[in-house]
Structures are given as structure tokens and as C-alpha cells.
């Protein structure tokens, strides 16, 4: 039986850049409105530019808050993945609560890893997918060890 920690180390520090960026997207256009010009041609006046940037800032801050909520739900529930024989038990953070789920290694049809996003996608025989995030594992070595157990 192998266990892997699956929880964010520092929820706010991991999202600090996105928090600052979203606040800047909201505050800068409100404090100092500006338009977009190319040469002498005005592409966007200050008001539409402000609206676009404020909406983009709000979308980004909502995504950051959702990521923080997801990480806190996993941390609250323990955030452990257990591989025991042919069974994988993992924590799933739903909308309001976190629950333990199981899958059989025999039910896995395909495993793919997206290096750019750091996501390990496991496709099951029933057509569903389970996604494991590299950022939530202790380190890259533990992540690779988990991926190797799934590929067997």
C-alpha cells in the first residue's frame, strides 16, 4: 500500500500573482482610465477599455477564489491518495464538500500527461475522466511514482 499527499502547500502564496494581477486589472482602469490608440487612430475609448479590464479582473479573481476553495476543501479532508493493490482511493472536492472516491486500475483505459498544465488525466472504461494535478503532490518524484503505479 502506497500513500501520496495530495494537498496544496500554501494556498494563498501559490495564487499570489493571480490575486495581484486581478486586483490591478480592476483598480488601475478605475483610478486612471485610458484608451487604446495605434498611431493617430483611436481603437478604444477609455470607458470600453475600463469595462473590459474590470470584467477580466473579476473573472480572474473568481477563478482564483474557486482554486483556493478547492485547495482548502482538499486540505480539510486530509488530501491523501492511497494505492492499494489494484485500487486507488483519492479525495474529490465537489461544490460544497469533499468526498473519498475509488477507482480500479483495471478500469483505466488511457493515461495522458499534459506537461504545460501539469495535469495527469486518467480515462476510465465508463467514459469518465479523473484529473490529478502535479501542484498538489509533494514533489515531482512522488508524482512520477504515482503515475508509474497507474501505468502498470
d(CA 111, CA 42): 50
Q: Is the dihedral of CA 13, 14, 17, 22 positive or negative?
A: negative
Contact 150, 122 (CB under 8 A): yes
Q: What is the pLDDT of residue 66?
A: 87
Q: What is the CATH number of the domain that holds 101?
A: 2.30.29.30
pLDDT in tens, 63-99: 999 888 888 877 777 778 888 888 888 888 777 777 7
Q: What is the pLDDT of residue 151?
A: 76
Q: Which domain holds residue 46?
A: 11-75
pLDDT top residue among 40 and 23: 23
Give mean pLDDT, residues 107-120. 85
Mean pLDDT, the chain, integer: 85
Does 86 share its domain with 42? no
Q: Is the dihedral of CA 95, 96, 98, 101 positive or negative?
A: negative
pLDDT in tens, 47-69: 999 999 999 999 999 999 988 88
Does 114 share its domain with 67? no
Look at residues 47, 75, 103 and tell me which one is the last residue of a structural domain. 75
How many Cα neighbours within 13 Å face the side chain of 136? 27
Does 89 share its domain with 55? no
DSSP conformational letter for 6: B
Does 60 share its domain with 95? no
Among 27-31, 71-75, 113-117, 127-131, the range of highest mean pLDDT: 27-31
Q: What is the pLDDT of residue 24?
A: 94
Is residue 152's pLDDT more than 70?
no
Q: Which helix (H) or strand (E) holds 54?
A: helix 46-77
Does 62 share its domain with 89? no
Does 48 share its domain with 102? no
* Number of domains making up the chain: 2
Does 88 share its domain with 138? yes
Does 145 share its domain with 110? yes
Q: What is the pLDDT of residue 102?
A: 87
Does 37 share its domain with 101? no
pLDDT in tens, 5-23: 887 777 787 788 999 999 9
Look at residues 58, 75, 92 and tell me which one is the last residue of a structural domain. 75
Amino acid at each position: 500500500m502506497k500513500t501520496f499527499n495530495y494537498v496544496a502547500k500554501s494556498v494563498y502564496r501559490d495564487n499570489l500573482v493571480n490575486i495581484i494581477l486581478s486586483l490591478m486589472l480592476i483598480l488601475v482602469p478605475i483610478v486612471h482610465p485610458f484608451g487604446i490608440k495605434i498611431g493617430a487612430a483611436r481603437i478604444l475609448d477609455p470607458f470600453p477599455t475600463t469595462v473590459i479590464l474590470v470584467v477580466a479582473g473579476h473573472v480572474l479573481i473568481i477563478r482564483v477564489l474557486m482554486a483556493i476553495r478547492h485547495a482548502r476543501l482538499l486540505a480539510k479532508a486530509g488530501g491523501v491518495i492511497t494505492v492499494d493493490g489494484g485500487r486507488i482511493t483519492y479525495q474529490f472536492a465537489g461544490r460544497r464538500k469533499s468526498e473519498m472516491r475509488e477507482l480500479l486500475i483495471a478500469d483505466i483505459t488511457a493515461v495522458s500527461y499534459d506537461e504545460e498544465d501539469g495535469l495527469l488525466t486518467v480515462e476510465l472504461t465508463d467514459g469518465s475522466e479523473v484529473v490529478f494535478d502535479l501542484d498538489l503532490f509533494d514533489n515531482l518524484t512522488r508524482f512520477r511514482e504515482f503515475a508509474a503505479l497507474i501505468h502498470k
